[in-house]
């Protein structure tokens, strides 16, 4: 039999889930055949799930928790299966945000997608994807605007946003677009479940300069960190990687202006754009 496929558990929820199943199985000293026998599933299915070639069902997760006596670890992770990075990674983020109870988003350079105006999003997308057709750009904008419906539902998640001052001063789309975007941010500060704070330039060097952070918290499932670039995305679910980033976000709040002062700061910057 060939050696088991090695997985990087940080690449997706399925990969992490499969790696965790394998770790728990091996901790018992069981082969894949033994786990299959005890759960009444096939050895081939166990192998496929451990290598993230197939997603587990909830019933499979429950049965593995029972025989491995995990205390429910695998079932707690199961709801996140299928809501992970894929060729449709933008859709994946939409689903993750919709399930989250709390979102903590730090941005160094641009306004978070959930708070972008359509004009700002269009200017940003065109600049970041110069080889896309106009149709492709508009499809991206449509998805981004659909994501924002999350904040208008009866039970929206709690949203904490930290913005470096650079977000308010970089002229994306021109003065008119920026003024409209900052006015939109100012209105967002009045939402009861939205907190927006600004980290001013006067802070100098701080840990956030390393890059943006998006931490999503769920009911009955572990926190995850979502990281993306122009072409792909990565989900971090390993607590060894998630916990430091979550703590970093909380630490960054100490550099930020209080809520009222941040709103006044945004308004002041808004009035500089014509």
Q: The pTM is what?
A: 0.69
Q: What is the pLDDT of residues 97-155, one digit of tens each?
A: 888 899 999 999 999 999 999 999 999 999 988 888 888 888 788 778 878 888 988 88
C-alpha radius of gyration, the chain, whole number: 21
86 pLDDT exceeds 80?
Answer: no
Give me the mean pLDDT over the 251-264 stretch: 97
Cα–Cα distance measured from residue 154 to residue 22, given in angstroms and rounded to the nearest whole number: 40
Q: Domains in the chain, ordered, with CATH?
A: 13-80 (1.10.260.40), 89-270 (3.30.870)
Q: What is the pLDDT of residues 90-100, one digit of tens each?
A: 446 777 888 88
Three-state SS sequence of 133-168: CHHHHHHHHHHHHHHHHHHHCCCCCEEEEEEECHHH
132 token code pair = 């896309």
Q: Which residue has the higher pLDDT, 138 or 80?
A: 138
Cα–Cα distance measured from residue 56 to residue 44, given in angstroms and rounded to the nearest whole number: 13
Query: Which residue in 54, 148, 11 sits closest to 93, CA to CA?
Result: 148
């Amino acid at each position: 039999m060939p050696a088991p496929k090695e997985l990087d558990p940080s690449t997706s929820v399925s990969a992490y889930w499969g790696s965790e199943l394998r770790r728990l199985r091996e901790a018992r000293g069981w082969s894949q055949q033994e786990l299959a026998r005890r759960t009444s599933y096939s050895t081939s299915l166990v192998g496929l799930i451990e290598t993230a070639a197939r997603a587990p069902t909830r019933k499979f997760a429950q049965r593995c928790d029972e025989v491995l006596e995990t205390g429910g670890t695998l079932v707690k992770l199961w709801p996140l299966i299928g809501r992970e990075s894929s060729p449709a990674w933008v859709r994946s983020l939409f689903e993750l945000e919709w399930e989250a109870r709390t979102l903590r988003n730090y941005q160094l350079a641009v306004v978070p997608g959930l708070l972008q105006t359509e004009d700002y999003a269009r200017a940003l997308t065109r600049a970041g994807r110069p080889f896309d057709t106009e149709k492709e750009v508009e499809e991206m904008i449509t998805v981004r605007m659909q994501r924002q419906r999350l904040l208008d539902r009866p039970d929206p998640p709690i949203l904490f946003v930290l913005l470096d001052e650079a977000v308010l001063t970089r002229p994306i789309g021109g003065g008119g677009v920026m003024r409209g975007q900052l006015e939109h941010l100012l209105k967002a500060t009045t939402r009861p479940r939205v907190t927006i704070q600004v980290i001013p330039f006067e802070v100098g060097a701080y840990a956030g300069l390393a890059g943006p952070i998006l931490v999503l918290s769920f009911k009955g499932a572990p926190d995850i960190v979502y990281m993306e670039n122009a072409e792909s995305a990565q989900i971090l679910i390993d607590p060894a990687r998630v916990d430091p980033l979550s703590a970093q976000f909380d630490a960054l709040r100490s550099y930020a202006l209080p809520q009222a002062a941040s709103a006044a700061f945004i308004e002041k910057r808004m009035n500089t754009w014509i």
